[in-house]
Structure 1
Amino acid sequence: MKKRFIVIILDGFGIGAMEDAARVRPGDERANTLKSILKDYPDLKLPTLEKLGLMNAYGEESARMKFSPEANYGSCQLMHFGADTFMGHQEIMGTLPKEPMIHPFQEKVDEIKYYLKAGGHDVQIMENQGLRYLLVDQYVTVADNLEADPGMCYNVTAPLDFISFEKEYEIARKVREIALVGRVIVFGGNGNTMEDLFQAEEVKQNRFIGISSVKSKSYERGYQCRHLGYGVDQNVQAPAILTNQGYSCTLIGKVADIVANDNGLSISCVPTKEVMDLTIRETIAMTEGFVCTNVQETDLAGHSQSTKNYKEILEIADRGIGELISKLTPDDILVVMADHGNDPLIGHSRHTRECVPLLVYKMGVTGRNIGRRKSLSDAGASVCDYFNTMKPQNGESFLYDLLHRK
């Protein structure tokens, strides 16, 4: 008999602002991703998610989607700081979030420069409009990330025809050792040059300077990327715990790029139909273990501030989840959740700090309210609980509430 625990993460699919949003992310107290989509598309119908309890978790019915008496449902608060895909996924896997510092690169440029020079690297200062960033070993730039919340991330960027990703990664790890921001993101691609990187240099708010990821042409061919998080230990997360005990672990979609899975299978993919097809295929192929999938295009729709795109991606994901359910056995558990919000009508293109749905399917188990959970880590804790392994660093399993409480 097969026994699998599957988690589908609808990236950026929030159901209402966190209670602390007004204090920690002013403006986000109005955020509600699902409400915004329903505002523009009140006739939206997602039959699988409706049956799984989406409206139960949301707390309201819509014109075409109602409460489901069969549903096992709850919601999750975010324990990580802000509203971040990388840290959201680390939290889901069982990491106890550690509060990062906010430092524009200008505040750390000299400290990082001297640290890298002490490690034997050639380091030059690059300057534009009075702002500075680093050029390391001729081909690696270290600067502000211009896509995330300002001061929260640094980018390490290189053209990989001129320096290997492994050497670039070594530099990024040294930056990570001394930087206190939430993420150090190391990436590069083939086919571009240092001239392309310098042409992609941008200044924002007269405080931040970096290399625009898209304009750098890094994505066009041979793209490689790693995210180095602050306070993240992969050994206390569900994938490492499970694979160390001999269980299979497959990560699909963006989660494959941002969660460590050294002893498992990781498949990068973006198109939602392909992501769901891969999830079905890999679930069928697995006998016992953990599958986690990230549907990234919901998040991209939020960033593009398009309720139309969001609606269409949700419909594709809903059909895929329905097909996946038809392949499950009595010993399988399916969880559908998110990592944060991304309200397309909030007035900006950043993530929003929202609670997220927690929808659980297990054949023969119905009508369980598993409540509002304190952390996304309850998902990872439940996975480990189901396979009777050690607990991850953070989170409380919801399996007792699911299997034993009415």
Structure 2
Amino acid sequence: MTKAVILVLDSFGVGCAPDAERFGDVGANTLASIAREFVKVKGRQLELPHLAGLGLIRAARAASDQTILVQDAAQVAGAYGYAAELSSGKDTPSGHWEIAGVPVLFDWGYFQQKTDSFPQELIAKLCAETGVPGILGNCHASGTEILKQLGDEHVRTGKPICYTSADSVFQVAAHEEHFGLERLLDFCQAARRLLDEYNIGRVIARPFLGAGPDTYARTGNRRDYSVLPPAPTVLDKLTEAGGEVISIGKIADIYAHQGISRGLKATGLEALIDTTLQQMQQAGSNSLIFTNLVDFDQNYGHRRDPIGYGEALEYFDSRLPEVIETLDDDTLLLLTADHGCDPTWPGTEHTREFIPVLCYRKGMADVDLGQRNSFADIGQTLTDFFSLEAMSYGDSFFKQLTT
């Protein structure tokens, strides 16, 4: 029953990467910052005993010279390390694609201007093709704040709210009832086609509900429209070899549904973990269960809420024994991240950081994987685990997991 489970703790960085200066992120450290704020505000240390038992604290301390105010485990059962990113950006697709063995070595297109961000030619074509009377926003913005600012005007005028960030992204917010969910998705698909010439990585549909600025809230019907990865990923290799890739959360959207056998949606950390556990029990041999735990990033990292982030980590840690108990004898568990998002850092953007690489199989002893030079080491390790053709990037650590 050869199976692998990847849980991506979206944005859970463990210290600024070697090239952080290029991104203005020297000193960023998602885990250390959360732990420090937890002590300040709650008067106690962040409690992550099960993550520590897999080697998280040892990996985090090796990745950074910052103090990590989290109790380490007396004994570790698992393999632990930390990885730098080869890809040119610190965005979600780049991080995930590199995890699957395909780093992004080209530069994405970006909308650099903070206001009047989108070219007038693009706006005119998009409005003409979709029939909307215009757009609102047209700026860099927080997805929650812009709903408070422009939600009422959107409902009144029927103009979708379009905004961006430091990532290569075009985001569209619209009210599910007043604008319509299907209409929003159609609008985003039109935007996806028009944005190809600008080399924009993702278009994100951000539906919301509510009756006013105090109650507007995004729903679980988010949809990401990504371009295809630039080369076949380990997901493609596994499905082509007759295996199964089960996507949970936004994974399928991130890979533009390429290399995905089945895609399952779930909203919220609890539901994402519950769905993962169900699939672990049901999936057959030669399968990969791949889950993105988006709450860490979208609810706490971008919103610069270190206490909420810490509480979410503690909740995840409390569920980790269920995940471990559900593992079959031949199942490999990998916990990692796709970038950082230090909730104490200026602004609201991702931070260029090392990511943790934690692996566990039943009976595994303490294995120090050290610093990995690419997230692609994870994908290369999976090719060995599933006996697939090797990827072009990454160094496998599979032998270290079997000694």
What range describes the TM-score normalised by the shorter chain of this pair? Answer: 0.7 to 0.9
The Cα of 1:353 is off from its aligned counterpart by: 1.1
Residue 149 (structure 1) aligned with residue 166 (structure 2): yes
**1:185-264 superposed matches below 5 A:** 185-187=203-205, 189=207, 219-220=218-219, 223=221, 225-229=223-227, 232-233=229-230, 236-261=232-257, 263-264=260-261
Which amino acid letter does the alignment assign opposite residue 270 of structure 1? T
Question: 2 CA distance for matches of 1:162 and 1:363?
Answer: 44
Q: Once the two structures are aligned, what percentage of the paired residues are identical? A: 25
Question: 2 CA distance for matches of 1:368 and 1:162?
Answer: 48
Question: 2 CA distance for matches of 1:129 and 1:50?
Answer: 43
The Cα of 1:341 is off from its aligned counterpart by: 1.3
Match of 1:73 among 68, 80, 105: 80
Question: 2 CA distance for matches of 1:362 and 1:83?
Answer: 30
The answer as to whether partners of 2:136 and 2:162 remain within 8 angstroms in 1 is no
- Go from structure 1 to structure 2 and tell me whether the alpha carbon gap of 1:115 and 1:59 turns closer, same or farther (over 3 Å shift): same
Question: 2 CA distance for matches of 1:241 and 1:85?
Answer: 21
Larger fraction in helix: 2
The Cα of 1:291 is off from its aligned counterpart by: 0.7
- Go from structure 1 to structure 2 and tell me whether the alpha carbon gap of 1:273 and 1:384 turns closer, same or farther (over 3 Å shift): same
- Go from structure 1 to structure 2 and tell me whether the alpha carbon gap of 1:107 and 1:336 turns closer, same or farther (over 3 Å shift): closer
Question: 2 CA distance for matches of 1:80 and 1:290?
Answer: 24
Residue 99 (structure 1) aligned with residue 99 (structure 2): no
Question: 1 CA distance for matches of 2:282 and 2:193?
Answer: 39
Which amino acid letter does the alignment assign opposite residue 178 of structure 1? E
Which amino acid letter does the alignment assign opposite residue 23 of structure 2? R
Aligned to 2:263: 266
Deviations for 1:144-202, whole angstroms, at most 9, x for unmatched residues?
52xx217x323467776497567545523432331124x2405265989xxx9xx99xx
Question: 2 CA distance for matches of 1:157 and 1:310?
Answer: 24
Which amino acid letter does the alignment assign opposite residue 229 of structure 2? V
Name stretches of at least 5 consecutive residues in structure 2 with no aligned partner: 63-67, 140-157
Q: Which moved more, 1:236-245 or 1:166-175?
A: 166-175
Which amino acid letter does the alignment assign opposite residue 315 of structure 1? E
Match of 2:276 among 268, 274, 279: 279
- Go from structure 1 to structure 2 and tell me whether the alpha carbon gap of 1:157 and 1:190 turns closer, same or farther (over 3 Å shift): closer
SS at match of 1:344: coil
Deviations for 1:231-275, whole angstroms, at most 9, x for unmatched residues?
724x61222322222212111123244233454222222321221
Deviations for 1:28-87, whole angstroms, at most 9, x for unmatched residues?
211111111221335222121111001110127646324644331111112223422232
Which amino acid letter does the alignment assign opposite residue 174 of structure 1? R
Q: CA RMSD in A?
A: 3.6
The Cα of 1:343 is off from its aligned counterpart by: 1.4
- Go from structure 1 to structure 2 and tell me whether the alpha carbon gap of 1:232 and 1:241 turns closer, same or farther (over 3 Å shift): same
The Cα of 1:218 is off from its aligned counterpart by: 9.5
SS at match of 1:9: strand
SS at match of 1:29: coil
SS at match of 1:34: helix
TM-score, normalization by structure 2: 0.77
- Go from structure 1 to structure 2 and tell me whether the alpha carbon gap of 1:144 and 1:348 turns closer, same or farther (over 3 Å shift): closer
The answer as to whether partners of 1:168 and 1:186 remain within 8 angstroms in 2 is no
Give the length in aligned residue pairs.
367
Residue 179 (structure 1) aligned with residue 171 (structure 2): no
- Go from structure 1 to structure 2 and tell me whether the alpha carbon gap of 1:242 and 1:164 turns closer, same or farther (over 3 Å shift): farther
TM-score, normalization by structure 1: 0.77
The Cα of 1:114 is off from its aligned counterpart by: 8.9
Match of 2:23 among 11, 25, 36: 25
Aligned to 1:369: 368
The answer as to whether partners of 1:140 and 1:168 remain within 8 angstroms in 2 is no
Question: 2 CA distance for matches of 1:113 and 1:44?
Answer: 46
Aligned to 2:150: none
The answer as to whether partners of 1:140 and 1:156 remain within 8 angstroms in 2 is no
- Go from structure 1 to structure 2 and tell me whether the alpha carbon gap of 1:121 and 1:128 turns closer, same or farther (over 3 Å shift): closer
Aligned to 1:109: 119
Aligned to 1:135: none
Question: 2 CA distance for matches of 1:130 and 1:314?
Answer: 34
Residue 59 (structure 1) aligned with residue 61 (structure 2): yes
Q: Which moved more, 1:249-258 or 1:368-377?
A: 249-258
Question: 2 CA distance for matches of 1:32 and 1:12?
Answer: 11
**1:341-360 superposed matches below 5 A:** 341-360=340-359
The Cα of 1:336 is off from its aligned counterpart by: 0.8
- Go from structure 1 to structure 2 and tell me whether the alpha carbon gap of 1:327 and 1:184 turns closer, same or farther (over 3 Å shift): closer
Name stretches of at least 5 consecutive residues in structure 1 with no aligned partner: 132-138, 201-213
Deviations for 1:74-118, whole angstroms, at most 9, x for unmatched residues?
11112223422232222222222022133447687266479889x
Question: 2 CA distance for matches of 1:284 and 1:130?
Answer: 45
The answer as to whether partners of 1:72 and 1:360 remain within 8 angstroms in 2 is yes
**1:378-389 superposed matches below 5 A:** 378-389=377-388
